[in-house]
Structure 1
Amino acid sequence: MTLDYLGDKEDGLLEVVLEGGGVREFVIEAIERADELVPTNIEWRIHFTGDLVRSVLELDADEAYTTTRGSNTVAGKTISQSDGSFDVLVSNINFWGVEPSSVDPAIAGPNIVRRVRHSLQHEALHVAIDARAEDTLSLWEAIYGLDPNEDVWTRHLGFMLEDYRIEITLAGREPNPYTKVSTMDSALDHFASERARSYEAGVGNGNLIAGRDAMIGAGVALTRDLVYLAGETNDPRPDLPAAALADWDRFVAPIWAEWVSILRQAKPATEPMTAAEITSIIRQLCVLVSKWLLSVGFKHVHVDGNEQVWWLAGFEW
C-alpha cells in the first residue's frame, strides 16, 4: 500500500495530512486499520485529494463523475485498474472543519478522526469485494426477466448493495459518526420537493417529466440513503428527526419492513457471496423499488439506453 496527495498544494488539505515532513499520527493509524481489511496480495494506493472529481478524471477518465448524491456528497472512491491493483481516493470532505493550524484530534474533534477512519475502511472494503469479483457490472446486468421499470435499477442497486455490506461490517468496527437517522429529514425533503416540481413539469408534457434528471437523481439518492439507513437500524420506525416523520410515513413506511428483510439476506463485506446470492437480492430490490416508485406516482424506465421518469397518468396527487 502506498500513499500520496493529489490536488492543489494551496487548498489546505496537505497541511492537515502532513506535519513536519511526515504523515500525521491519526492519519497513519487510520491507514493501518484500513490496510488490515485488504488481502495481503493486493496492491492498493491511497490518494488524498482536494478535488475528487478532477482526480477521478485523471485516474479513471470518467468525465461524467460527480460527487453530489441528492442531499449528500461523496467522500471517497475506489478505482480498479487493469493490472489488478486499486486506487483509493479520499476527499478533503473528510477533513472539513479542521483548520491546518489546529489539527490535533483533541482540538479538531473526535468526529473528524472517526470520519477519516470510517472512510478509509469503507474504501478498503470496496477493494476487498472488488478483488473477489463480486462487484462486476456484467454480474448485475445479467439479471433477466425483469420488466423495464425494474431492470433500470440493477446497476444502481448493485452498487448500493455493496455499500450496504460494507456498512454492516463497519457498524461494529468503525461506524460512521454522521448517521442517516440524523439526516433523513433532508433526504426526504429533497425527494418530496423534486417530486412536487416533477409533477408540475410532467402533467404539461404528456406526463414525461421535463426535469427528469433531477427526479431520477432524487429517487436514486433517497434509495441510497435508505440502504445506508438499513445498515444502521432495522427498527420498524427509526428514531428520526421530527421534521422527517410525515414524509417517512407517506413515502417509506409502507415498504420499510420488506426493504430491511431483503437487505438482511446480504453477508458482511468480509464474507464472500456467490453470484446467485448477490443477483437474488438485487432482483428482489429492483422489484420492490419499482413497486415503491409506482406507488408514489412515477414510472422509471430505460428508453433507448437512457433513463427516463414518467408521471403516471391519472395518479391522484
Structure 2
Amino acid sequence: MTDAPTTASINISLADFDGDEDEITRGALTVMLNHGGLARTLVDGVLELVRDHTLWRLTISGNMGHTVDTLTNRGADNPFTTARGAGHVGGITLTRDDGTFDIVISGNTLVATREGVGSPEALLEHTLRNAAHLARHEAGHAALALRGEDSASYRDVTGLTPTDDAHRPHLALHIEDHRIERYTAVHAPSPFKHAEHLTDAIAHLRRELNYSKQHWHDNIDAAAFRTMDAANGLVRVLAYLSAELGLETPRRPNRPDPLPEGWNDYVEESWDAWSLTFHRLRPVDEPMQTAELRAILADLSRLNTAWLTSIGINYGIDDQDREFIAWERDHY
C-alpha cells in the first residue's frame, strides 16, 4: 500500500493574474491555498476520480483564455473563450499528447458569489465548496478520457438526418457534463443553482431570437449563429439542471421551484423528454458502453431538432448540405 500524495507533492500553479483586481484575488487565493485548506480541497477533489497524481497538473488562472491559449499554442485568430450563452465556463481539462491532463480552474470563479458574503470566513467556506465541486467536475473529464468514455469515443453516430447531425457535436459534450454533474450533485454540489442560471439562459435566448428576427436581412449567417449559439447555451444549462434536480419518480423529472421566468415558453413542453433522456446516462463513476452512449446521443440530437421547432425556430440542413433557418414567430 502506498501513502496518499500530499499537497506538498502536487504543485498548484497560479497564472495570469495581471491587473490590480487580479492581484487582490491572487493574494486571497494564496492565503486560502497556504492556510485555509483550499489546496487540500482541490487535490482531494481531483484524486477522488483520478488517483494517479502523476497524470494531471492543476493551474488556477486569473485569465483562463490566455492560460489555455498559452498551454495549447492557439493562434490569435482562434482564441479560447469562456462565454457559453448567458454563462461561462469555470474550468477546463486539456488532454495532452502524452496522456496527461492540464486542469485549469478560473480563480475568479472560485471566489465568485451571486451575493456578497459577510466575512472572510464566509468567503473561505464558499470558496472551499466551489473548489470541491470544480475539482471533481474537471477530474471527471479526465476520468472519462482515461476510460475511453469521453465525447471523442462516441460522437460519431450514423443514421441521423443532416439536421439532427448538426446538433450532435455540442450534445456529445453535454453528455459528459451531465454524467459528471450527476456525480457532483451527490458528492460535492455546486454552491450555485442551475435553476438560477436557467433564468439568465432563457432571457439570453429570447433577446438573441428577437434580435435575429429583426436583423436577419442584414446578415443571415450572423443571425443564424447568434440564434443557434444561444439555443445551445440553454440546452447546456438543461444538461446541468437535469442532473441537479433529479427525478421525482423513474418517469417524472423534478422541476425547479419556483419556475424560472420563461419556463413555460421555452422548456416546459420538452422538459420531460430532455431530463428523461439525460437520465438514461449513468454518473461518471459508473462505466458505460460506447453503443449506449451513441444511442443516447442520437436521441438527444433528434430531440434538439424537435425542441427548436417547438419554440418557433425552423432550422435544418437540406439535401444539398445547405443550412437554412427561419424565425417563425413575430416576437419571442
TM-score (norm: length of structure 2): 0.83
Give distance in 2, aligned partners of 1:237 and 1:97: 28
* Structure 1 residues 28 and 210: alpha-carbon distance in aligned structure 2, compared to 1, 3 A threshold: closer
Aligned partner (choices 55, 68, 72) of residue 83 of structure 2: 68
1:69-108 to structure 2, matched below 5 A, reads: 69-97=84-112, 106-108=121-123
Aligned partner (choices 28, 46, 67) of residue 16 of structure 1: 28
Q: CA deviation at 1:192?
A: 1.3
Deviation readout 1:118-152 (Å, 9 max, x if unpaired): 11111011111111121143630x20111122101
Number of equivalences: 306
Q: CA deviation at 1:219?
A: 0.5
What's the RMSD between the two structures over aligned residues? 2.9
Deviation readout 1:45-74 (Å, 9 max, x if unpaired): 001111100111111234342111111121
SS at match of 1:175: coil
Using the aligned pairs only, state the percent identity: 26
**In the alignment, is the contact (CA less than 8 A) between 1:182 and 1:240 conserved in 2?**
no
Give distance in 1, aligned partners of 2:162 and 2:58: 39
Aligned partner (choices 173, 176, 198) of residue 184 of structure 1: 198
Deviation readout 1:85-128 (Å, 9 max, x if unpaired): 00000112223359xxx998624253222112111111011111
Give distance in 2, aligned partners of 1:103 and 1:128: 37
Aligned partner (choices 43, 47, 52) of residue 32 of structure 1: 43
Equivalence for 1:195? 209
* Structure 1 residues 133 and 24: alpha-carbon distance in aligned structure 2, compared to 1, 3 A threshold: farther
Q: CA deviation at 1:307?
A: 9.8
Q: In the alignment, is residue 238 of structure 1 matched against residue 243 of structure 2? A: no
Give distance in 2, aligned partners of 1:48 and 1:209: 37
Deviation readout 1:15-40 (Å, 9 max, x if unpaired): 123239x7343212212321221142
Read off the aligned partner of 2:234 and give its amino acid letter. L
Aligned partner (choices 3, 8, 12) of residue 12 of structure 2: 3
Task: Give unmatched runs, 5+ long, in structure 2.
Answer: 1-9
Q: In the alignment, is residue 56 of structure 1 matched against residue 68 of structure 2? A: yes
**In the alignment, is the contact (CA less than 8 A) between 1:230 and 1:260 conserved in 2?**
yes
Q: In the alignment, is residue 164 of structure 1 matched against residue 178 of structure 2? A: yes
Give distance in 2, aligned partners of 1:307 and 1:114: 47
Aligned partner (choices 233, 237, 240) of residue 228 of structure 1: 240
Read off the aligned partner of 2:16 and give its amino acid letter. G
**In the alignment, is the contact (CA less than 8 A) between 2:92 and 2:104 conserved in 1?**
yes
* Structure 1 residues 14 and 289: alpha-carbon distance in aligned structure 2, compared to 1, 3 A threshold: same
Equivalence for 1:175? 189
* Structure 1 residues 293 and 31: alpha-carbon distance in aligned structure 2, compared to 1, 3 A threshold: same
**In the alignment, is the contact (CA less than 8 A) between 1:198 and 1:209 conserved in 2?**
no
Give distance in 2, aligned partners of 1:270 and 1:108: 30
**In the alignment, is the contact (CA less than 8 A) between 1:201 and 1:209 conserved in 2?**
no
Give distance in 1, aligned partners of 2:254 and 2:53: 43
**In the alignment, is the contact (CA less than 8 A) between 1:182 and 1:241 conserved in 2?**
no
SS at match of 2:301: helix
